[in-house]
C-alpha cells in the first residue's frame, strides 16, 4: 500500500516503516559521530523502549557504548491492510541495525506492568546475558493494571485545587486560543500516581533483584520533566507532578536499599513526543522554545539529550552532577535564564496572526510527523510498501 499521514489532534493513525527506519538510522549516525563513552554500561534493559527518550536510550546504549540491549514496549504490528504503530517499526528498524552491527538486541512486546512480562524478560536475561548493569525506565502509558490487585488505573492531566486557564495552540488549525482545565476530582490524583509514579519502576528492580540478575554497581534511571512556571499548574503542580514526586521518592527508596548512587531521576527537556503532544498548553510552549533554542544554537532532540545524559553523567567514569534535590538536569539549557526570558516574552505576545513569526510551529509539525516516519529525506512516500514487518528476534 501507499502510506500517507493521517492526523487527528495529537494522534497520527498511520506510520511509515521505511520512514521510521530512516529516522532510526539518522539517530544511529548521530551517536556514532560522537566521542566514545569512558565507562558505558554493557547490558542494558530499557522499559518503554519504542519511542521518545526510551528509544533514544536504547540507541545510545547500543551504538554509543556497544551494549547488549533488551527493550520492553507495548506496540501494534502492521497487518496486510493496516499500518503498525510507529513504535513497532522503530523497534524492528533498531533490531535490524543492531544485529547488522553485531550487537545483541531482543525485544518484548506486551504489558510491561505485568508480572508475566517481568518473568519473561528475567528468563531471557538469565539465559542470554546473565545480569544487567543498567535499567532505563521510560514508560508513558495512560493506564496501568496493578499486577497484585488486578485493578486498572487511569491517569489524568489536570490541575489540583482550582481550574487552570491559559493560552493554547490548536495544532490542527494553527490557531492560538485559550483552554480551561478543571481540577482533579475524587481519586484522580491517586490514580495518576499509580500509573505514572515510581511503583512499577520499584517492582521491576525488586523482581530483578529477587532473580539475582543485577550486576554489582548497576545503575537505574527514570525520566521526568519540570518545565517553566507557566506550565506548573498543568504539569509540575498538577496530577502529573504528584506522580513525578512519587518517582523521586522511589529513587530515594532504591538508593537506600541498593546503595547511594544507584537510582537517578533525570529531568529532561521539553520535546515533541507522542506523550507531550497530548498535554494542553505544552505544544505552544514547545513551538516557542524551539525557535528560541534553534536561534541560540543549543536546541537538542531526544537523541542529543540522551547522548549528553550518558556522556556527561551515566557513562562518564564519574558520578553524575546532581541538583539540590538529587536529580540529574539535562533540561539545563532549556531552563537557562536567557532562553526562558525570550520564551516568556514571546508567550506574552503570541497570537494566531504572528504565530509563524514568533514560534517554530512549522518545526513542531515537522517533528511530530517524523515521529511516525513521515518527512524523512531519501524515503519515497509515493512508492508501495509492505506494512507487515517482523522483529528479527521473532517476538
Q: Measure the CA–CA gap between 57 and 69, rounded to whole angstroms.
A: 10
At 2 the pLDDT is 94
Structural domain that includes position 81:
7-141+190-274+300-336
Run of H or E residues at 302: helix 302-309
Residue 228 belongs to some domain of the structure:
yes
At 279 the pLDDT is 83
User: What DSSP line would sit under 81-145, residue for residue?
Assistant: SS---HHHHHHHHHHHHHHHTT--EEEEES-TTSHHHHHHHHHHIIIIIS-EEEEEE----SEEE
Residue 359 belongs to some domain of the structure:
no
Tell me, yes or no, if 137 is annotated catalytic. no
- N- to C-terminal Cα separation, the chain: 24
| CATH number where 195 lies | 3.40.50.720
Residue 87 belongs to some domain of the structure:
yes
At 34 the pLDDT is 97
Q: Measure the CA–CA gap between 224 and 365, rounded to whole angstroms.
A: 23
Strands 105-109 and 68-73, sheet pairing: parallel
Point out the residues of the chain with pLDDT beneath 50.
395
At 392 the pLDDT is 87
Residues 6+ apart with CB under 8 A from 387: 1, 3, 17, 78, 79, 80, 81, 82, 83, 84
Taking only the tens place, the pLDDT of each residue in 222-265 is 999 999 998 999 889 999 999 999 999 999 999 999 999 999 99
At 11 the pLDDT is 82
Q: Measure the CA–CA gap between 303 and 59, rounded to whole angstroms.
A: 8
Taking only the tens place, the pLDDT of each residue in 154-165 is 999 999 999 999
Residue 166 belongs to some domain of the structure:
no
**Does the pTM of the predicted model rise above 0.75?**
yes
C-alpha cell at 228: 517553566
- Of 235, 264, 290, 364, catalytic: 235
Q: How many domains are contained in the chain?
A: 1
Q: Measure the CA–CA gap between 190 and 186, rounded to whole angstroms.
A: 9
Give the alpha-carbon dihedral of 199, 204, 210, 214, to 10 degrees: -130
Residue 388 belongs to some domain of the structure:
no
Which residue, 141, 115, 234, is CA-closest to 179?
Answer: 234
At 394 the pLDDT is 52
Residue 71 belongs to some domain of the structure:
yes
C-alpha cell at 270: 521539553
Residues 6+ apart with CB under 8 A from 140: 48, 52, 196, 273, 274, 275
Amino acid at each position: 500500500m501507499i502510506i500517507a499521514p493521517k492526523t487527528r489532534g495529537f494522534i497520527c493513525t498511520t506510520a511509515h516503516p521505511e520512514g521510521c527506519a530512516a529516522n532510526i538510522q539518522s539517530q544511529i549516525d548521530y551517536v556514532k559521530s560522537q566521542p566514545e563513552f569512558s565507562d558505558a554500561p554493557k547490558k542494558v534493559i530499557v522499559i518503554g523502549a519504542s519511542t521518545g527518550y526510551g528509544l533514544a536510550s536504547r540507541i545510545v546504549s547500543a551504538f554509543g557504548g556497544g551494549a547488549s540491549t533488551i527493550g520492553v514496549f507495548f506496540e501494534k504490528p502492521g497487518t496486510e491492510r493496516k499500518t503498525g504503530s510507529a513504535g513497532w517499526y522503530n523497534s524492528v528498524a533498531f533490531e535490524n541495525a543492531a544485529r547488522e552491527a553485531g550487537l545483541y538486541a531482543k525485544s518484548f512486546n506486551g504489558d510491561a506492568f505485568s508480572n508475566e512480562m517481568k518473568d519473561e524478560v528475567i528468563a531471557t536475561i538469565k539465559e542470554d546475558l546473565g545480569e544487567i548493569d543498567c535499567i532505563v525506565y521510560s514508560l508513558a502509558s495512560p493506564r496501568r493494571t496493578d499486577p497484585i490487585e488486578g485493578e486498572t488505573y487511569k491517569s489524568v492531566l489536570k490541575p489540583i485545587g482550582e481550574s487552570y486557564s491559559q493560552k493554547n495552540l490548536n495544532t490542527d488549525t494553527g490557531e492560538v486560543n485559550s483552554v480551561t482545565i478543571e481540577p482533579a476530582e475524587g481519586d484522580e490524583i491517586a490514580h495518576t500516581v499509580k500509573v505514572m509514579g515510581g511503583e512499577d519502576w520499584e517492582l521491576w528492580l525488586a523482581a530483578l533483584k529477587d532473580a539475582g540478575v543485577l550486576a554489582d554497581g548497576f545503575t537505574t534511571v527514570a525520566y521526568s520533566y519540570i518545565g517553566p512556571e507557566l506550565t506548573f499548574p498543568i504539569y509540575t503542580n498538577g496530577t502529573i507532578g504528584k506522580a513525578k514526586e512519587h518517582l523521586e521518592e522511589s529513587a530515594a527508596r532504591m538508593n537506600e536499599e541498593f546503595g547511594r548512587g544507584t537510582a537517578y531521576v533525570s529531568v529532561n527537556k521539553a520535546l515533541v513526543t507522542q506523550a507531550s503532544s497530548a498535554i494542553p498548553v505544552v505544544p505552544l510552549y514547545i513551538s516557542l522554545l524551539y525557535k528560541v533554542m534553534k536561534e541560540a544554537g543549543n536546541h537538542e532532540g531526544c537523541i542529543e539529550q540522551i547522548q549528553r545524559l550518558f556522556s556527561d553523567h551515566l557513562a562518564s567514569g564519574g558520578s553524575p552532577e546532581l541538583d539540590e534535590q538529587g536529580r540529574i538536569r539535562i533540561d539545563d539549557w532549556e531552563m537557562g535564564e536567557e532562553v526562558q526570558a525570550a520564551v516568556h516574552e514571546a508567550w506574552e505576545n503570541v497570537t494566531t496572526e504572528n504565530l509563524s513569526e514568533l514560534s517554530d510551529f512549522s518545526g513542531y509539525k515537522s517533528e511530530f510527523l517524523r515521529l511516525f516516519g513521515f518527512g524523512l529525506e531519501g524515503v519515497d512516500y509515493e512508492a508501495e510498501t509492505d506494512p507487515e514487518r517482523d522483529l528479527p528476534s521473532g517476538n
